[in-house]
Structure 1
């Protein structure tokens, strides 16, 4: 059974906090198929991972900690993208006005990490010294990146989908405001969806949310066409709308406290999941 957590707000919707408490409540396995962070704005998080010669973000680390099974963040998050601010306001390889992609880390199905480097961007010295980039795949165009995605990313995502579908209960967190973070997931396995935004959460049946994803228009997102949550939920009425309280910094770092504070929202999500079985 899959519980999908998506963000109805593009930035800081509260997905990871909601997912961490849900893992505490259910004892499920956490997954974040795609993630990213910024070498400038998330510098401390980058340094924490780079200190061990690794590349992952705080969201995947929080989910790994919340599930309590000792898994590495990379097992929950096979693809992680490192960004940096675009120099002089340039658009970068993926057409972003504010930032450019530097390097992707891809955890392959055999458990190894491979790296794809944006050859048009300057890799920060600390990143170049720390990560094993000598054998990284360089890309200079969107076409080259798409080819790398087909060869390397897609098998990693397909392997992850198989592992997620084999879990008795999986909590899958999306990224940004993207509605479906893993296209290779069987839609029938998605039992219920929580669309999270600051102060509230809306609950949807999994099959109806997935059907709406199929008909919603696509929008550009990080070099790809993606279905965005606001466009998808335009087609749906939620089963429930629930308020979630603001939490202090200490509470947000404690999955058990989150589980207590968000109890009614989790009750509604789990009831929706049971009704779909």
Structure 2
């Protein structure tokens, strides 16, 4: 039976999930798996350039986790679904009759592409209203590109993740990192024994994954946030997480030392 460490965030952004996941992967020899991810080509331009080098839109977190993991699997298997979005092109709006207030509120209109496995779905409608760096399409040169108007159905996302999971789970215990503050990154993770770790600034809350799954299946919708779920669960352990500067975050050995208490809390329950 595959054992799973599910890492979820308490905040919408910058919870510290990946910083906590890195020492768990390296110390406990876990296979990293990020079912869903995404990035903004404007806000995270350095990562956009990295994806251009790879010819593949992929998660920043997975690149970090794969570097410390002892596993020989393709990035698209460790990260089967990745979304790329952008900001509005305000210059275009100023030169047109589009209301800037309306324009800035239409965040869904600025999704550029979704990658499902090796296929990129490129959204062409409204392209003129989006800010798109010149080299953006080079991110998808190693993929099959389909120009579409509508997003893939949720069932197609789930099938893509399930196919990747069938390969990942054979490699050993798996660390599954969620997206933002989603309580459940995809339903398949709730079928396994293991540990759930909810991460926020300075703190990690540790739960039995079966208890977490029962709460998720009973109380939460498919896109429920972590805080709504944890209101009805008591953690098995509360672990303090020290703040770390960039030097310590980039050194796996220093990370393991700083997060030794969390590693021990997870290890004894696997």
Normalised by the length of structure 2, the TM-score is 0.85
Find the partner of 1:101 among 111, 127, 132: 111
Is this contact kept in 2: 1:6–1:177, CA < 8 A?
Answer: yes
Q: CA deviation at 1:104?
A: 1.1
1:34–1:79 Cα contact (<8 Å) kept: yes
| 2: CA distance, partners of 1:188 / 1:131 | 33
- In 2 relative to 1, CA 75–146 (structure 1 residues): closer, same or farther, beyond 3 Å? closer
CA shift in 2, pair 1:207/1:47, >3 Å: same
User: 1:205: how far off?
Assistant: 0.4
Aligned residue in 2 for 1:177: 181
How far apart are the structure 2 equivalents of 1:115 and 1:160? 16
For CA contacts below 8 A with separation 6 or more, give which structure has more relative contact order: 2
Counterpart selection for 1:250 from 241, 247, 251: 247
How far the C-alpha of 1:10 sits from its partner, in A, is 1.2
Q: Would the aligned equivalents of 1:32 and 1:172 in 2 still touch at CA under 8 Å?
A: yes
Matched, 1:117 2:131: no
* Partners of 1:200 and 1:74 in 2: CA distance: 31
Instruction: Check the 8 A contact 1:46/1:57 in 2, yes or no.
Output: no
C-alpha deviations, 1:109-139, integer Å up to 9, x for none?
xxxx101112224254312355349963333
Tell me the C-alpha RMSD between the 2 structures: 2.2
Moved more, 201-210 or 254-263: 254-263
Residue matched to 1:47: 49
Decide which structure has the larger Cα Rg and report it.
2
Counterpart of 1:110 in structure 2 is none
Q: Confirm or deny: 8 A CA contact 1:5 1:196 kept in the other structure.
A: yes
Q: Which runs of 5+ in 1 are unaligned?
A: 108-112, 219-224
Q: Does residue 1:137 correspond to 2:151, yes or no?
A: no
Note the residue ranges of structure 2 that are not aligned, 5 or more in a row. 90-99
Q: Deviations over 1:46-81 (max 9, x none)?
A: 101202322113211001001043544322101111
Q: From 198, 201, 205, give the equivalent of 2:204.
A: 201
Q: For 1:1-277, what aligned pairs fall within 5 Å after superposition? A: 1-69=3-71, 71-87=73-89, 88=100, 89-92=103-106, 94=108, 100-107=110-117, 113-122=118-127, 123-129=132-138, 131-132=140-141, 136-140=145-149, 144-147=150-153, 149-151=154-156, 153-185=157-189, 187-218=190-221, 225-273=222-270
Shift of 1:162: 2.1
